[in-house]
Structure formats: structure tokens, C-alpha cells
């Protein structure tokens, strides 16, 4: 099982998605306007909550959810896993290469297809039916 991405590595958009997931979606715009990415998220303290439009209780929820997310990301140790991050980056690179290869194949396939025309050629005439041998009746 692959662990979730460590919140320290979240982009600002991922922080926004995470806020929605923990029930603080109404605060996404304040976080984006303040440029909160994963690194900054990890440094937030109760003194920062007011600047981000969070009440004290919302701040507690954020910090509690952040601890849970960190624990899920690293199997409970609370620290980033560089080896896992390297594996994720390698897989993301492979995925991007495969997407590019697929796009090239799709483009080549599209170029091989005859252009559609508005004039339809008549359907070919059906092949003549094979003649049946005459029915022969023998009288004894």
C-alpha cells in the first residue's frame, strides 16, 4: 500500500484540496491568497490562524488533521520518507513519459485516418447469389 503524500510536499492547490477534505473548504481562498503551500502549512501556529480567517476551534481542527495526515503519510513517524518521495517522483516521471507517448500514438493514428468527406460513395453491389443445383426427382 502506498502512503499518501506528506503534507510538507503539498502544492498550494493540494493544500486547498486538503482543506476541503478536512471540512475547512470555506478557507481555501484565504490560504491561496496567502500562498500557503505544504512547507508553510507545516509552520503554521495559532498566531497565524487569524490572518487566515480561522477561528481558534478551526485552527485546532487544522493542527489535529495535519498531525493525522503526517502520520498517514509516513506510517506514524511524523517525518517525511525520502525513499518514498523518490519512488513517487520516479513513478510520476514514468507516468508523464507514458502520457507523452500515448499522445504521439494518438496523433500518428489521427494522421493515418482518411479525411472524412461529405460525399458518400455508393455501396458496392452485392455479390451474385450462387446458383442452386436443380432439384432432381427420381421415379422408380
What is the residue-wise DSSP string for 61-111? HHHHHHHHHHHHHHTTS-S--HHHHHHHHHHHHHHHHHHHHHHHHHHHHHH
Q: Are residues 13 and 65 in the same domain?
A: yes
My answer on whether 17 and 58 are in the same domain is yes
Q: Clarify whether residues 99 and 32 are in a common domain.
A: no
Task: Supply the pTM of this predicted model.
Answer: 0.52
> Which residue would you say has higher pLDDT here, 37 or 126?
37
21 pLDDT higher than 70: yes
> Rounded distance, CA 22 to CA 90, Å?
29
| Confidence band for 18, pLDDT divided at 50, 70 and 90 | very high
Domain enclosing residue 27, as ranges: 1-79
Average pLDDT, the chain: 82
Residues 62, 6: one domain? yes
Residues 73, 88 within the same domain: no
Number of domain units in the chain: 2
**pLDDT (tens digit per residue) in 84-122:** 677 777 888 887 888 888 889 889 888 888 765 555 566
Which residue in the block uniquely carries the three cell numbers 516521471?
Answer: 93
Instruction: Let me know if residue 121 belongs to a domain.
Output: no
Position 1 scores a pLDDT of 46
The HSE-up count of residue 28 (CA atoms within 13 Å, CB side) is: 15
For residues 17 and 39, membership in a common domain is answered with yes
Amino acid at each position: 500500500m502506498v502512503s499518501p503524500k506528506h503534507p510538507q510536499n503539498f502544492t498550494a492547490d493540494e493544500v486547498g484540496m486538503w482543506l476541503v477534505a478536512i471540512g475547512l473548504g470555506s478557507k481555501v481562498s484565504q490560504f491561496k491568497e496567502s500562498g500557503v503551500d505544504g512547507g508553510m502549512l507545516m509552520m503554521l501556529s495559532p498566531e497565524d490562524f487569524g490572518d487566515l480567517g480561522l477561528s481558534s476551534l478551526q485552527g485546532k481542527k487544522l493542527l489535529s488533521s495535519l498531525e493525522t495526515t503526517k502520520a498517514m503519510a509516513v506510517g506514524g513517524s511524523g517525518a517525511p520518507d525520502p525513499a518514498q518521495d523518490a519512488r513517487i517522483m520516479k513513478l510520476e516521471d514514468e507516468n508523464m513519459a507514458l502520457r507523452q507517448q500515448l499522445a504521439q500514438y494518438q496523433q500518428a493514428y489521427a494522421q493515418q485516418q482518411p479525411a472524412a468527406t461529405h460525399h458518400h460513395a455508393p455501396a458496392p453491389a452485392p455479390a451474385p447469389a450462387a446458383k442452386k443445383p436443380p432439384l432432381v426427382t427420381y421415379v422408380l
